[in-house]
Structure 1
């Protein structure tokens, strides 16, 4: 691969180093690499790059858990409106949730992955994973896997179903409907929670990770018992174990857009969403007020994640990006990454909104490692404006 053949798009003055860094990364990657990088500063698009065969800036990818950022922006908007209250018990909105000792949990703790409700004893079917309401009904009856509020662990496949049911009970609308009406359509964003058939030709099927022998040995050494919290959280214990890497290739997942993992987006859509959250964009005021941004980006759960078994940090529905991934970002940076390698975040202190997608899963899963070098050079250029 050469820079001239494979890297396309534009950068604003002052961001030439971003194109150079992206080109250097692409040149060192496999020859089937495919991905996009986009960034805004203070509401202005300053980076719009892509690479790969038959790809352009409008190509769409499954973004896995980066979906959670779009879903919980809806929750933040409803809190800002006064429709939801963070310190009310979940049962105020959803009485059935009280079963099996969950009655004292607040919406704040639910958003911070403190419910202990990472899955169900028997797991979900493929059809249930695509249907947030079906999952919520099952989860309401489930005994939590730790005492709610005493610890935290990543609710990987279910957090959007849980918070989505609160939204539905409070408003009569789904997270997907509210995202479309209040966020995606007004800004023309290519970030879909429910991909319409007309956009299907732009979707790029997810490709599985191809680890080296050394990397595979590291993966094989990870704890992987069928009844671990991680297995339950990722539905690997079900009668139909979930193949996470192939999840967005299921048309039902793309069509329904489950709020934990079902989003489909371009890097433009990822970055554009976070730009709209913190900046004036095209004459529109920021979606969230500074106090709401600070509340949702503030650390709420930090330390040992009971599911991931490593240090993790969460705000409210969002990952605390500066602590979990990029230590060079400003305090209060927030966003979410996805299993396929995607990442999106806002850094309110620099005005930066960042989005990255790739087609093939990167080792070891989650935010692809190249995000650190790409985000670093974008951030540096943003500070020098």
Structure 2
């Protein structure tokens, strides 16, 4: 254990050569005494080399909500189905899901859908927290929804809807949900502490998400135009605005695990998933072939995100994370989450990274300390 203050102690272990990561993790916590708990796990070539946690109510196996880091699990399932030949990314969504063709969406391809190009960032009438819990209900509403831009011509972050959309394609093709396939092909075989649908028996390990300061919403980044795409995509334009902190703190959401934002898991679980995707783990070959790894890490939509203003941001359902963490190799892919979580695979360097925390990151997405922690990991790997 490493004491960093009178109230915060860092627990866990690091492999030889990764001592600097532990020091950086401790420094991050020492600099922010308001942080109520976080976890960090890193794999290198399939071996866990960093396993750290600290803060109030946080243990090694605590299960915080990871918000949009869930999208990484959802799109790992899509990548596996593309790799199997079960899903053709260049077929139209409507060829699998005929009802989707309504309102001029008939020509949109699966590749464009998972790259956030559908224009279906929200639905008329909005959603309640409970309404977002069931992907099939969300997908049914979105099938008839008029898109917010011409599908395929632009891209914008589908923060709360993309998992329901891709999930419906998966269900139409396989007869099974993303959540079921993730459980069978990814989570269970590797005993990952990352769940799309948290079993009731594991509820005691869930740690609730706490609001940031100020509370998340339009005030987080200054006033938002209620008619803006950003306000729509995050549910802030409806009345009352969607309560993002309440989302995973609602048992129905945790139980069903909606594939956009409903995942619950530890840093070990997040990092382990990406390690399994790109590396041999416990004698098992990588889930993804080199060809699929290259495909899922390739930026699909050049230009500026209409919702977030980020540039060249999305690979095949994943975020192209090298733009944020420049020490990573070409084709690194992953996904952040609104409570500050970050998870990614860096296939070039054989690194898989997972970070969670309990306090909502403002204005949302990966917490800023991930830049320091990721850099420390890259420095350690370079020094081996």
TM-score by length of 1: 0.95
Partner secondary structure for residue 10 of structure 1: strand
- 1:98-126 deviations in whole A, cap 9, x for unaligned? 00000000000001111111111221233
Q: Where does residue 3 of structure 1 map in the other structure?
A: 4
What CA deviation, in whole Å up to 9, does each residue of 1:5-57 have, x standing for no partner?
51000000000011111111111112553100000000000000000133211
What is the match of residue 112 of structure 2?
109
For 1:359, the equivalent position in structure 2 comes to 358
Is 1:33 aligned to residue 32 of structure 2?
no
- How big is each residue's C-alpha offset from its partner over 1:119-144, in whole Å with a ceiling of 9 and x where there is no partner? 11221233320010001000000111
Of the three residues 88, 103, 123, the one matched with 1:85 is 88
Question: Partner of 1:209 in structure 2?
Answer: 212
**Correspondence 1:126 to 2:108:** no
Q: Which string of whole-angstrom CA distances, capped at 9 and with x for unpartnered residues, describes residues 152-210 of structure 1?
A: 00000000000000000000000000000000000000110000011100000000001
- Match of 1:162? 165
For 2:320, the equivalent position in structure 1 comes to 320
Where structure 2 has 5 or more consecutive residues not aligned to the other structure, the ranges are none
Aligned position for 1:374: 373
- 1:321-358 Cα distance to aligned partner (Å, 9 max, x none): 002x2122111000000001000000000000000000
Once the two structures are overlaid, the 10-residue window that deviates more, 35-44 or 124-133, is: 124-133
Q: C-alpha distance in 2, partners of 1:315/1:142?
A: 25
CA 1:94–1:58 in 2, change beyond 3 Å: closer, same or farther? same
Q: Would you say the 8 A contact 1:338–1:366 is kept in 2?
A: yes
Q: Corresponding residue for 2:220?
A: 219
1:337–1:216 distance in 2 versus 1, CA, 3 Å: closer
> Which range is displaced more, 104-113 or 53-62?
53-62
Per the TM alignment, residue 216 of structure 1 is displaced from its structure 2 partner at its CA by 10
Contact residue 129 and residue 247 of structure 2 kept, 8 A? no
Q: How far is 1:271 from its partner?
A: 0.3
Residue 258 of structure 1 corresponds to: 258
CA contact (8 A) 2:29 2:35 kept: no
Q: Is the 8 A contact 2:28 2:369 kept in 1?
A: yes
Offset at residue 362 of structure 1 (A) = 2.6
Q: Select 1:48's aligned residue among 41, 46, 51.
A: 51
User: How does 1:243-322 map onto structure 2 within 5 Å?
Assistant: 243-311=243-311, 313-322=313-322
Q: In the TM superposition, what whole-angstrom CA distance separates every residue of 1:48-100 from its partner, at most 9, and x where no partner exists?
A: 00001332110010000000000110000000111000100101100010000
**Quick one: distance in 2 between partners of 1:112 and 1:155?**
9
Deviations for 1:274-298, whole angstroms, at most 9, x for unmatched residues?
A: 0000000001110000100111110
Q: Is the 8 A contact 2:299 2:312 kept in 1?
A: no
User: In the alignment, which residue of structure 2 is the partner of 1:338?
Assistant: 337
Pair 1:285–1:127, CA change in 2 (3 A):
same
Please state whether the residue corresponding to 2:73 is helix, strand or coil. Answer: helix
In terms of mean alpha carbon deviation, does 234-243 or 349-358 score higher?
234-243
Which residue pairs with 1:195 in the alignment?
A: 198
CA distance in 1, matches of 2:76, 2:198: 18
Distance 1:383 1:220, change over 3 A: closer
CA pair 153-220 structure 1, distance change in 2 beyond 3 A: closer
Query: Which residue is equivalent to 1:235?
Result: 235
Number of matched pairs: 381
User: Greater helix percent: which structure?
Assistant: 1
Distance in 2, Cα, partners of 1:380 & 1:234: 35
Aligned partners of 1:313, 1:346: CA distance in 2, in Å?
16
Mapping 1:53-68, distance limit 5 Å = 53-68=56-71
Cα distance in structure 2, aligned partners of 1:139 and 1:2: 50
User: Normalising by the residue count of structure 2, what TM-score does the alignment of the two structures yield?
Assistant: 0.96
- Do 2:217 and 2:236's aligned partners in 1 also have CA atoms closer than 8 Å? no
Label 1:253 to 1:312 Cα distance change in 2 as closer, same or farther (>3 A): farther
Of 375-384 and 56-65, deviating more is 375-384
Larger deviation: 19-28 or 274-283?
Answer: 19-28
Distance 1:286 1:21, change over 3 A: same
Question: RMSD of the alignment, in Å?
Answer: 1.8
